[in-house]
Structure 1
């Protein structure tokens, strides 16, 4: 992916479909549409997956909470949501095996009655997962639970229920979708903001006026159809196309705190089924740390980046502490992140916690704008399929969707033992090799090749982590990184696991980007100053 080449094409060519928003749903739509033979453009006002799609709990799941509510309330809409999630789970796992993998989750229980309740529930959950080969749930003894998660409080623990879902690196999975779409012929560009729409004599959109957020230049993208995939920001695009439309999105904020891996000291994740506000909370190992989340609160200002407040941090720590032998406090916080859910609601009186994560495709008959509304990460592919099916109807075509068996960028000829070849060919240490394979899949070889001509690129960005300088260079050449935050937050995920180490790595990353992208000293210092100020504020707020 080359941003300058993409900009030239966006300015000069005409497209069948222009997709606004390059999160999971937009990237999924771009891949599906280009594979059906459409000429596709996909743009985002920030980086790929910079909003909701990089701030998830990193789970690929049907939703055990939805299943419980479906059974309790005989709610078939909730049951449908679970079924769709579990049907899609195996596809998400299979299509990018380097970025998604099975995850074992433990639910600690305090009595045999509680254990029976969760075991029966998870057996029902298992019955919906008919298309994958993940192990079935099991009821474990207290001894078995403590062997797997030794940090639990043995005084209150009776037993535990073990079940399996999937885990993904959400930002890199989204990037793989964009890369795959681009390599199939789509034109993709980040940092392109929509200003307005142009319309034909019938009032139908036929072009999008945009601004390049890097250069400040404005230009027009000609397209026969526009698809709105902007998640929590969908109403802004909908109303720009047709001010008479009613608002449909109820944004909800969910935050996660990140603590040291030793908090659970386990490769197993934990599902906490009882919380003070009726949600479930997960504690999940990720990138050498442990993520706890999430919350659910109404969001009034979607233009401000969702961050953690003291009450939210305390809620998550207080939710986990009853299960731990050694209690934790806020001072152990390493990082954290917040995101917005694009919940659908026509009833403003409903709590966001009661709203489904289902999706809907809206076609505005006046402007012709198609909007993909709602949804969640696990069902991104189904959401995209439903959207491009509607596009087919509008274009009076019948194309087959092939994304259920389409291997994403980096998954081609994937071999999890490739790390051994990297070690032999390039002399990397084992943790670096394993990291590269888990992030870049079969393309990890390309990063190794960069170090043959410049051995200095083998150096770590941080002594504590397996990230190396060659990744920055590769990111500028092949992954369209524009700012240091693109790399540190979304390409290697360091920002969401360790704020202080991100701040430490920032000058080195900016220097490498400066050489690759041709920044002058003023631009480099500007990039460092802006991002470091944000990081220092996060660290200060965390105490």
Structure 2
């Protein structure tokens, strides 16, 4: 124990021994207990800030394993929340797992959520008034899983109080009872008890609200988290447990038994090199979220290929269609916007329980900004790259103006994006998507095995990803007749959560002489992997610079420096870390998902594109053509984020 604790604990250990000799056994028993707790606490603190010995396989190693493995137990298609969750669950049960993702981890819906780990207060309301057991089961399930998220990734998931402003007296008991029921159904997983605020208390906490009509405030508690960082942690955790997980690998065709038609794997193309891999597996899992219907088409077709689509002439980045006429997925676009921090209390969210069209609207503190949303726009097709329409942005701003007493301005919108909700209906029982309203659909998931043996998991929401993955792998075990270990993901600490301590930010600041803002940023996004980035800061001072300055040898020419870039903590060192330890392959991977730069401030992220490409190009040996393409592609995409 003393060796692990470090040299500083030896004097205390010697003193403890001396006390035992002089004072006698009775006194030592008390002192020993106190001192042992102190030493254990010091050891825990030290382990939280120690530089971890992390050895991950390179992308080349993973590709080699993919090509040399004759047959995997499980092939998971899709690298979002559910897909990576399935990979973690299967790998920790002892199965040989491969996961392939066409784009990047969390490149779709999984990076565009409301960033809430929650049970769903509106589902509880529907459960009560519609006497719906299905809605109530969903709430209870999500409340339980919310607790697991906070436990398995405490650096990424935090408790967030949310206030419901009340503007009529009769709503006070109504909302109060609803919040207490929310606490009740959480049971032992309840985060904190909800409580009532007077008009003055509510106005003091949220001075941006108009106090003239405010009557009270109800506060309940949910979880807030960083969705794409969580997704990356899941992918890395799966790899650390032996899974072969790869981004930028596109499934072109399912491999099918010629006689039975059973799915036996997939033909996969490396999108970076064009190299094709034959990946065979005993069981194949379709975890492609909004794009699940495309895999179902491949499952139904004898040749294992998807139905042909008609390319739209002059299609833009926002008009390309990924899936036409889906049968299972009921696509609905949810738009969110990012606003400056003064639109919401810094430590408490706001909830508009009933907008003009009956939806709920969140205004939440997130990453030092305010996240507002979401809309609910039914769609008939699944777009390849959903984007936020100006009308949707204006709808959110108009709703916000009902509450805010200062002018709500369009130029305050720092970023805006759209994501496709994975709402589903059972394709075995329905006639397909009708394109109608989606508000009444339950956000529960659907897991089933097709006639050709492909396991499909779709629907649900981020909060229930772990339970969905467990149910999916249970089905995989049944289909493949595997003998496996029990599921352990309820308590499994994800990458960065091992030995995590709430005081990690302070320890980083002390050990590496960081600012409070930087130490908080690293602690809350990388957990106990943060020291790896701090070591890079010490090895080369240029790693401490904002990523905007990537490749600039001389940054003392102030006329060429955009000092706004120093307002954001995203550094060259963080970029180098993401390439080395998180399988970052493009500039957008870093600017949008490993960090949330473009989500938080699209204009500033645009300015960081060239610096990011310079650092990555040097590290990954990109030629001038690749660098030019990367800059153009990245800027084109970021410009769709409401700027």
Specify which of 199, 217, 220 is matched with residue 142 of structure 1: 199
1:432 aligned partner: 518
Specify which of 479, 501, 509 is matched with residue 415 of structure 1: 501
The alpha-carbon deviation at position 522 of structure 1 amounts to: 2.5
TM-score by length of 2: 0.82
CA contact (8 A) 2:453 2:479 kept: no
1:316 aligned partner: 396
- How many Å separate the matches in 1 of 2:458 and 2:344? 36
Question: More displaced, 488-497 or 339-348?
Answer: 339-348
Question: More displaced, 142-151 or 451-460?
Answer: 451-460
1:11 aligns with 2:97: no
- Rg larger for: 2
1:162 aligns with 2:219: yes
The alpha-carbon deviation at position 300 of structure 1 amounts to: 3.0
2:6 aligned partner: none
Correspondence list, 1:280-295, <5 A? 280-295=360-375
- How many Å separate the matches in 1 of 2:344 and 2:250? 42
1:406 aligned partner: 492
Correspondence list, 1:77-226, <5 A? 77-200=134-257, 201-226=259-284
1:242 aligned partner: 300
- How many Å separate the matches in 2 of 1:299 and 1:427? 51
CA contact (8 A) 2:66 2:279 kept: yes
The alpha-carbon deviation at position 332 of structure 1 amounts to: 1.6
Question: 1:339 is paired with a residue of what secondary structure?
Answer: strand
The alpha-carbon deviation at position 317 of structure 1 amounts to: 1.0
Question: 2:567 is paired with a residue of what secondary structure?
Answer: coil
1:20 aligned partner: 77
- How many Å separate the matches in 2 of 1:84 and 1:95? 17
- How many Å separate the matches in 2 of 1:503 and 1:312? 23
CA contact (8 A) 1:362 1:373 kept: no
CA contact (8 A) 2:85 2:465 kept: yes
- How many Å separate the matches in 2 of 1:158 and 1:417? 38
Alpha-carbon spacing, 1:421–1:139, altered in 2? closer, same or farther (3 Å):
closer
- How many Å separate the matches in 2 of 1:328 and 1:144? 23
2:628 aligned partner: 525
CA contact (8 A) 1:428 1:458 kept: no
CA contact (8 A) 1:90 1:131 kept: no
Q: How much is the aligned-residue C-alpha RMSD, in angstroms?
A: 1.6
The alpha-carbon deviation at position 133 of structure 1 amounts to: 4.7
- How many Å separate the matches in 1 of 2:542 and 2:201? 46
Correspondence list, 1:337-376, <5 A? 337-345=417-425, 346=430, 348-349=433-434, 351-365=437-451, 367-376=452-461
- How many Å separate the matches in 1 of 2:417 and 2:383? 16
> Structure 2: which 5+ residue stretches go unaligned?
1-55, 307-325, 548-564
CA contact (8 A) 2:282 2:480 kept: no
> Structure 1: which 5+ residue stretches go unaligned?
none
2:416 aligned partner: 336
1:485 aligned partner: 588
CA contact (8 A) 1:119 1:139 kept: yes
CA contact (8 A) 1:392 1:399 kept: no
The alpha-carbon deviation at position 517 of structure 1 amounts to: 1.0
- How many Å separate the matches in 1 of 2:527 and 2:135? 35
CA contact (8 A) 2:388 2:640 kept: no
The alpha-carbon deviation at position 265 of structure 1 amounts to: 4.2
1:96-116 CA distance string (max 9 Å, x none): 000001011000011221121
Aligned positions, number? 539
Question: More displaced, 471-480 or 520-529?
Answer: 520-529
Question: 1:223 is paired with a residue of what secondary structure?
Answer: strand
The alpha-carbon deviation at position 398 of structure 1 amounts to: 5.7
The alpha-carbon deviation at position 537 of structure 1 amounts to: 4.8
Question: More displaced, 243-252 or 470-479?
Answer: 243-252
Question: More displaced, 88-97 or 236-245?
Answer: 236-245
1:457 aligned partner: 543
CA contact (8 A) 1:511 1:524 kept: yes
Question: 1:314 is paired with a residue of what secondary structure?
Answer: helix
CA contact (8 A) 1:149 1:266 kept: no
2:472 aligned partner: 387
